[in-house]
Structure 1
Amino acid sequence: MRYFRTLGATAFATATGLALVGTAFTGTGTAEAAPTSLYAPSALVLTLGEGTHPATDTVVRAVTLTCAPVPSGSHPAPEAACRELDSAGGDFTNLTGLREGRPCTREWNPVTLTGDGVWQGRRVTWSATYGNPCELRARTADSAVFAF
């Protein structure tokens, strides 16, 4: 009887997209931990800091971005940012590149972007340092992920 209740709860949760929490029973009556979610986690913290090293930078802005099961967080455009990260395979480097027609001065006023957390179940840590805020905008201007 326990097997059928567990199977029924699993089918209901799968059909409705609900997370399962608790204990499942195998056919032998032994308990196993049930999955806590039907989705691989995708939750990140994105920061912008003044300086050249994430560990010592002064953080100017920080946002959270959760993409699974639904886009959310303090990021101003979570849906667009999640779509963009999904298209890039979760690789932040694919989202940064020099855009033509955006001249910048060569002043040294470094800023660092970071992305830290979990993307589709795997741990990610990324950072990139730019010579000044203009260079940062030139390399990330078209990216919803870095528009915070």
Structure 2
Amino acid sequence: MRHVLGTVAAAATAAACLLTATAGTAVAQDRSDRPSVPTLEKGLYAPTDLVLAVGRGADAATITVERTVTLSCAPRPSGTHPDAAAACAELKAVDGRFGDLARTSTNAMCTKQWAPVTVFATGVWEGRRVGWSTTFANGCTRDAALAKSAALAF
């Protein structure tokens, strides 16, 4: 009977260690002959993968897309964006708030022609889902508002 109880206790301990290790938590090792289980806390980064697009039309859902780029910021800037490093730095500075990058310029001389251009972003920013779009009256007003934005002027 004592042998059976000892076997059950050993199996329960082994199962608890396996579940703990599977959950990503390091298990303390008393024996030096076994390698320690690495923790998952170091070396991880929150994913940042975005699709940025610009197109003709007043609604992001129905625009005719003219240009699309991809942008990934972790572990290092990459994608088809023409200046991924600057775009990631700019987005990091505003904590991924795209609206903070589109500024109205008072120095621009644009016509009042209504030929809507929509810019949108969708994807994941530092682990959280994002979706953003804004519509400009025409290409001139878009260029004026995004002239200083590395992330959105592509």
Q: Same fold (TM over 0.5)?
A: yes
- Per-residue deviation at 1:66? 0.2
Aligned length: 123
The answer to which of 98-107 and 124-133 deviates more is 98-107
Distance 1:146 1:46 in 2: 8
- Per-residue deviation at 1:26? 8.3
- Per-residue deviation at 1:87? 0.5
Query: What corresponds to 1:116 in structure 2?
Result: 122
1:75-86 correspondence runs (5 A): 75-86=81-92
What's the % identity of the aligned pairs? 48
Distance 2:87 2:55 in 1: 20
Query: What corresponds to 1:32 in structure 2?
Result: 22
Q: What code does the residue aligned with 2:22 have?
A: E
- Per-residue deviation at 1:57? 0.6
- Residue of structure 1 aligned with 2:105, choices 63, 81, 99: 99
Runs of 4 or more, structure 1, over 4 Å off, are: none
Query: What corresponds to 2:50 in structure 1?
Result: 44
Normalising by structure 1, what TM-score? 0.77
Tell me the alpha carbon deviations over residues 75-127 of structure 1, each in whole angstroms, 9 at most, x when there is no partner. 00000000000001100011011123111100010010001001011110000
Normalising by structure 2, what TM-score? 0.75
Indicate if the aligned counterparts of 2:143 and 2:153 stay in contact, CA closer than 8 A: no
Matched position secondary structure for 1:123: strand
Indicate if the aligned counterparts of 1:26 and 1:32 stay in contact, CA closer than 8 A: no
- Per-residue deviation at 1:147? 2.2
Q: Gapped runs of 5+ residues in structure 1?
A: 1-24
Structure of higher CA gyration radius:
2
Q: Does 1:63 align with 2:79?
A: no
Distance 2:15 2:82 in 1: 44
Q: What code does the residue aligned with 1:96 have?
A: A
Q: Gapped runs of 5+ residues in structure 2?
A: 1-13, 25-39
Query: What corresponds to 1:145 in structure 2?
Result: 151
Root-mean-square deviation (CA), in Å?
A: 1.9
66 and 29 in structure 1: CA distance in 2 versus 1, 3 angstrom threshold: same
